[in-house]
Amino acid sequence: MARHGGTLEVAGRPGQSQQSPSSITQCYGPSAVAPGHALRADFIPLHHHLLPTHIVRLHAAFLAATLLAVPTAQGQSTLRSAPSTRATAEVLFSVPRPQGDTSPASAPLKVKIDYGQPHARGRAVAGALAADLDKVWRLGANNPTTLTTEVDLLIGGATVPKGTYVLWAETSAKGPWKLIVNSDPGGEHKPERDVIKVPLTTRTLATPIESLTISLVPGPDGAPRGDLRIIWGASEFTTTWALK
């Protein structure tokens, strides 16, 4: 396929009659284009039986009827953004090789937290929205907040074997919070599946944070340990993490 001036050339099969614009339009049909979309002439799909030999010239007037559709301004005006976003916190651990080993380096081991990130958007936040205080909260928006670790961990001094878990927070409007690591992947907290429940240290921030942020902060010396921090509004909740 090639474009020359205002025409497009499409290869055909030897001995076969040229495909007219009307026949190609009939094959692919304008009905394949969604309402509220304009058509662009960047690409025209070929018939499955066309092979390079003959040249079919399609005039520029037909190029406005191709299948590559792009939303018009009117179509885009109907799009809506989700009220929350998705975020991750991740720490990697390099795997040392024995001295003299020239084999390719192993992929680093990973600890990752994946969570729905709600935003205050003018609402009052005290670590969580008022409706999520004094209860067990999913620690995020929409889908469960997950912890995936490829190494055995200590979180708040308690053992979490490598695997995938769901994080919850036991919240309080006035008292301390607790972090829960649970082995059930569902969207409802099942206390019998709690792996650990550890207290969180609370600190009040001078400047409120608009979006829920969960961080795995490594120690300053590069050692495999650090802090797990949960921040939203003017509240910060912290516990420790370390390789076991």
Give the pLDDT score at 72: 58
**pLDDT at residue 32, rounded to an integer:** 44
For residue 152, give the H/E element and its range: none
Neighbours of 49 (CB within 10 A): 9
Reported pTM: 0.67
Contact 177, 228 (CB under 8 A): no
Residue ranges for the chain with pLDDT beneath 50: 1-70
pLDDT of the residue at 76: 73
Q: How many CB atoms lie within 10 A of CB 80?
A: 5
pLDDT score at 4: 46
